[in-house]
Amino acid sequence: MSSIKVVGGEQLKGELKIQGSKNAALPIIAATVLNKGITILRNCPKILDVFHMINILEELGCTTNWEGNTLYVDSSVITTPSVSEDSVRKMRSSILFLGALLGRCHEVTIAYPGGCSIGKRPIDYHLNAMKKMNVTEEFLGDGDIIHCYTDKIIGNDIFLEFPSVGATQNVILASVLSEGRTRIFNAAREPEVTELCNYLQEAGARICGKGTSYIEVEGVKELHDVAFTLMPDRIVAGTYMTAIAATYGDAVLTDFPIRELDSVIRVLRKTGCKIETLDDNVRVYCKKRLQPVEIIKTQPYPGFPTDMQSQMMTVLCLSNGESTIVEKIFESRYQNVDELRKMGAKIDLEASENKAIITGVEQLNGAVVKSHDLRGGAALVIAGLAAEGTTVVQGATSIERGYEDICRDLAALGANIRYCSESAS
């Protein structure tokens, strides 16, 4: 397993293009099985999670090919509707093949995804919705393999208890080739759900209401070949914005999803960080000591994203006062706190309310810390950039799940950063 070594103290400067979106790529890769033909995905990020999804496509009988950041998928032939247990364990998003394979094959066998480091993450909303769409489910083995089947998927009204991103996407995937109409109430409004709808519409699906909490899908007989360009990754963009702020840098991020990051831009501005927007480019700079933010609550879109909570916590650790974060989406997303404390951060947790109270310090200090999850790991890299001395972030593989090459990107902005093997660190 590799580590990332950062020598802190460099202010980030220069220009950087934002990679394609992970959370848009994953459901769209699953969706390619709905088309008995060729799909071309441009601006597809070369990250571990995408590679895992491609492995699943190949297990199912599809063929894939890369040309630069363009991914070609040929899903003319599916040889099995089963996703191996090993693949599901590697990656929770493989559950998106539930709706996609039901749509294509009317059958799917998939392991029950376990919890993960940021929380329990059940799939009850996904399964309840499938049952309402004429899908029968049975549990195999010790109950951790799900076999779902139907003679035909029939559209229905789906009321989601919470606007779950994955459940909304799975219902859309299952309903695109169904009989009749599906109406999703309390649907997730995340831009990556909209992007899945954009892709499916270009492939011939009939969908209304994307980007709102009420989505309607009218089933069609088949989809057709499509070439689609993926949106930029709003969380990678947000991560690099916070990295520039934490180092009091001055840099331009291009191909930046401004509208989709509005909530993060507004919070960063409260810290005193300056953000200038021009078309799809954003200049971020920070000349004065960062200011605290009274309270940040993570929320479904368009609220402040849980996937930016850890990176913002690092910024607030360096501010001139007390800030509060309340994590409302995942129950175990404060694993970075102990790591940041090793670097001199002052953070109190009120576990019963999932609240973190951060008292800013003048300076963080380099330390050996461990990445527990993708965004938490990126947040520790940011802490290392801002800290005095050397920081080693162990468990960098978790960061490679979502960032094409975080060292390449930050080094391009002047950071002193590189991958190293765990033993060499």
Q: How far is the CB of 178 from ligand UD1 (least distance, A)?
A: 20
Q: How far is the CB of 126 from ligand UD1 (least distance, A)?
A: 5
Cβ proximity to ligand UD1, 303 vs 389, nearer residue:
303
Q: How far is the CB of 304 from ligand UD1 (least distance, A)?
A: 11
Question: For binding to ligand UD1 (CB under 6 A), which residues are involved?
Answer: 23, 26, 93, 119-126, 162, 164-167, 188, 192, 306-307, 329-330
Q: How far is the CB of 423 from ligand UD1 (least distance, A)?
A: 31
Q: How far is the CB of 329 from ligand UD1 (least distance, A)?
A: 5
Which single residue brings its beta carbon nearest to ligand UD1?
166
SS (H, E, C) the chain: CEEEEEECCCCCEEEEECCECHHHHHHHHHHHHHCCCEEEEECCCCCHHHHHHHHHHHHHCCEEEEECCEEEEECCCCCCCEECHHHHHHCHHHHHHHHHHHHHHCEEEEECCCCECCECCCCHHHHHHHHHCCCEEEEECCCCEEEEECCCCECCEEECCCCCHHHHHHHHHHHCCCECEEEEECCCCCHHHHHHHHHHHHCCCEEECCCCCEEEEECCCCCCCEEEECCECHHHHHHHHHHHHHCCCEEEEECCCCHHHHHHHHHHHHCCCEEEEECCEEEEECCCCCCCCCEEEECCCCCECHHHHHHHHHHHHCCCCEEEEECCCCCCCCCHHHHHHHCCCEEEEEHHHCEEEEECCCCCECCEEECCCHHHHHHHHHHHHHCECEEEEECCHHHHCCCCCHHHHHHHCCCEEEEEECCCC
Cβ proximity to ligand UD1, 75 vs 169, nearer residue:
169
Cβ proximity to ligand UD1, 87 vs 319, nearer residue:
87
Task: Single out the catalytic residue among 44, 62, 116, 317.
Answer: 116
Cβ proximity to ligand UD1, 5 vs 189, nearer residue:
189
116 in active site: yes
Cβ proximity to ligand UD1, 192 vs 409, nearer residue:
192
Annotated catalytic residues are 116
